[in-house]
Amino acid sequence: MVRLTDVVKIYTMGEERVEAMMGVSFTVHRGEFVSIMGASGSGKSTCMNILGCLDVPTRGSYFLDGVDVGGLSADALAEVRNKKLGFVFQGFNLLARTTARQNVELPLVYAQVPAAERRSRALEALERVGLAGREGHYSNQLSGGQQQRVAIARALVNRPSIILADEPTGNLDSRTTIEIMSIFQELNRQGITIIMVTHEPDVAEFTSRHIIFKDGQVISDQPYQAKSAVLPAEAQQR
């Protein structure tokens, strides 16, 4: 699904030169659940931006689903983001005066999907994350965990090849973190490839591979026996 080969990313700000990634190479296969870890400034966020086609390498190559995205135009990159990738962020990024269903429909609006199909696919995605019956609720009527579930449903609605999650539990308490990781694990069991950036080792324990960055380089890339995220029974009813 993903192949980075000798990826270098250099930012130049005036006379200052920042080497954010220095020859990074790794492959992510279809169906993996991978965590990318590292301290602030280690290069993990830059790597996620490249994986998400929000930035391009200075040197090296990035193949996504067999396509070299480094040579694509801005419009082609936007199409890749819309059709192949689903994004989940720490801050949920929901529209406040919009219902859960309308938030989930948003990527389909950009893709010019007809209204009836948008509605049915949004409801299907909300059901997959345990929010059937909550589609008419506004963001301020939902808990933090429910808002993140809406965000995951929005990431799913375009049926992406990969979900990219950037600190998806950073704003959540420990119980809700387990709830969200349980959803990710279930989606992964259904065949969805997930790449997650996190600085929390206890969150990374729910993934099956750990890639660790330091000073712009991968210093460790190891398989891991993922811990099962047991969803509390009462949380399933929320």
The reported pLDDT for the residue numbered 149 is: 94
The reported pLDDT for the residue numbered 231 is: 57
**Is the pLDDT at 5 greater than 80, yes or no?**
yes
**Is the pLDDT at 126 greater than 80, yes or no?**
yes
Please say whether the beta carbons of 36 and 196 come within 8 A.
yes
Mean pLDDT over each residue of the chain, to the nearest integer = 92
What is the SS3 assignment for 82?
helix
Please say whether the beta carbons of 121 and 172 come within 8 A.
no
Confidence of residue 176 (pLDDT cuts 50, 70, 90): very high
Residue with tokens 């119980």: 175
Q: Residues of the chain with pLDDT > 90: what percent? A: 75
Please say whether the beta carbons of 165 and 88 come within 8 A.
yes
The reported pLDDT for the residue numbered 229 is: 87
Average pLDDT over residues 82-92: 90
C-alpha torsion angle, residues 28, 87, 172, 230 (rounded to 10) = -50
Please say whether the beta carbons of 82 and 107 come within 8 A.
yes
Confidence of residue 74 (pLDDT cuts 50, 70, 90): confident
The per-residue pLDDT for range 213-237, each reduced to its tens digit, is: 999 999 999 999 999 987 555 444 4
Q: Which helix (H) or strand (E) is 45 found in, with range?
A: helix 44-51
Q: Residues of the chain with pLDDT > 70: what percent? A: 97
The reported pLDDT for the residue numbered 238 is: 44
Average pLDDT over residues 157-164: 93
Instruction: Determine which of 67-76, 97-106, 114-123, 221-230 has the lowest per-residue pLDDT on average.
Output: 67-76
C-alpha torsion angle, residues 144, 212, 50, 128 (rounded to 10) = -40
